[in-house]
Amino acid sequence: MHSDLMLDAVRAEAAYRAEELRKAGRSAWAVHARRAVRHFRAARTAVDVPAQQRREASRETAGVGETAR
């Protein structure tokens, strides 16, 4: 009787671990598929992006030099 319970516990543990491995495999596959689709769509777009231009930093104050009365 004790061996039957132990066998059931081992089978349940094996089934649980097998299911977790299947889930992990599916999610990894989905991530790779999504990444590939994103890359493919980005390559197909014909959007021209202008080069960035550096702007000079200007310090604008909101009347900090003036004293409030």
Residues 33, 39: Cα–Cα separation, whole Å: 10
**pLDDT tens digits, one per residue of 7-62:** 899 999 999 999 998 888 777 778 888 888 888 887 777 777 778 887 776 666 66
Q: Tell me the CA end-to-end span of the chain in Å, nearest whole number.
A: 92
Confidence (pLDDT) at 35: 86
Residues 36, 30: Cα–Cα separation, whole Å: 10
Confidence (pLDDT) at 5: 87
For CA atoms 23, 25, 29, 32, the dihedral sign is: positive
Confidence (pLDDT) at 65: 59
Would you tell me how many other CB atoms lie within 10 Å of the CB of residue 24?
10
Q: Which residue has the higher pLDDT, 4 or 2?
A: 4
